Amino acid sequence: MAYTLHRLAPGSYDLALDDAIMGSVVRDISPGGHGAGWRVQLLDDLPSVLRPHPFTQREHHFPSLEAAVTWLGGATVVESPLSP
């Protein structure tokens, strides 16, 4: 399994697993306008036995994009959207 992040806009990525979009990675912004971290989220709320590794819940939070990429097993970051 290889994760890739495909940039949509600043602070927003499609999360693909083996070239199939299955989630998103987005920057969480605090009400004061300061970055509050990053959220990695599955598109579907799958039962725990069907969630891809390393997901233990539908959504996980990280202090930085780098931490999220590491958690995803060193996902590759691509600066363009995934083509249909």
- Residue 34: helix, strand or coil by DSSP? coil
Look at residue 69 in the predicted model and tell me its pLDDT. Answer: 97
Q: Could you give the number of structural domains in the chain? A: 1
Look at residue 72 in the predicted model and tell me its pLDDT. Answer: 97
CA distance 70 to 84: 26
Look at residue 1 in the predicted model and tell me its pLDDT. Answer: 65
Please enumerate in sequence order all residues whose Cβ is within 8 A of that of 20, keeping only pairs 6 or more positions apart, or say none: none
Range of the domain at 20: 3-78
Q: What is the pLDDT of residues 43-77, one digit of tens each?
A: 999 999 999 999 999 999 999 999 999 999 999 99
Please enumerate in sequence order all residues whose Cβ is within 8 A of that of 27, keeping only pairs 6 or more positions apart, or say none: 11, 12, 35, 37, 38, 39, 65
CA distance 30 to 1: 33
Asked if the structure places residue 83 within a domain, the reply is no
* Structure confidence at residue 83 as a pLDDT band (50, 70, 90): low
Asked if the structure places residue 34 within a domain, the reply is yes
